[in-house]
Amino acid sequence: MKSIRGKKALVTGAASGIGREIALTLAGQGADLFLLDIDEEGLSRVVASAEALGVSARVRRCDLADSGQISAAVQAVRDCWGRVDILVNNAGVAYYGPTDRMTPELWQWLLGVNLLAPIQLIRELLPTFLAQGEAHVLNVSSVGGLVAQTRMAAYHASKFALVGLTESLRAEYSHRGIGFTCLCPGLADTNIFHNTVSGRGGKPIKVPPRWLLVSPRRVARKAVAGIRHNRGLVLVSPMAHALWGFKRLSPWLMDFINRFRRSKRKPSPPDSQPQQKS
């Protein structure tokens, strides 16, 4: 996709963070936007910023844990444009805590938003993409889709799956004019640390030091470049490159690091239960 100008882009999780910046970067290059999120106020702010760049922007409140709402959103986009050139599966949620204390409902919610929603959006839009003969899908995974740590099994499962999904679809549909890119940023300066569901007795998740964080704007620039150049995998931040390099060259080293971190961790209180933050 050599040019973004005039393209129609559907972006999930667009009210803040990486989704917001990807949407505005696309708008800055001339794409019209259709934005999905549960945060309507945040969406309104993104619309104002996008329209100031001279493009049209529409929004719809959509809970990606609800397949019915996803289908309704896809139909709304079709009714609005009749086509979609760029799909950005950005929305994501996280859980941190002992995996044995996760409920079936928590597993279903996390996998629903992080994995099943992107799958449904791709499945429902594939006929449109194939009829057009050109489209691009950006799946936002994480360095956590390449390298795993303890107490985030559900999150890692969903993000590893996005990497594999992207790679498989890229191999299957590249000759049909549909590009697939998987974005794997390192730790980004977003609200995900504050919004992570906690299984630590309600204790907040520690936010990493700022020097470790990459800005959402930088992630967005790399993401849109990945779309334009049809790159299969886009890593952002020195930390992401380093961890992926260590994992590929020395898998035993990552295993050792995880075992060392586990040995230093204090056990969770026996009565702690997952605490969901809205």
Catalytic residue among 95, 96, 155, 173: 155
Distance CA 143, CA 200 (A): 23
Distance CA 191, CA 3 (A): 31
**Known active-site residue 155:** yes
Helices (H), 31-139: 40-51, 67-81, 104-111, 117-132
- Distant-in-sequence contacts of 69-78, Cβ < 8 A, 24+ apart: 70/117, 70/120, 70/121, 70/124, 71/120, 71/124, 73/36, 74/121, 74/124, 74/125, 76/34, 77/10, 77/34, 78/128
Distance CA 243, CA 197 (A): 24
DSSP 190-248: STHHHHSEE-STTPPPPPPPGGGPBPHHHHHHHHHHHHHTT-SEEEESHHHHHHHHHHH
Catalytic residues: 155
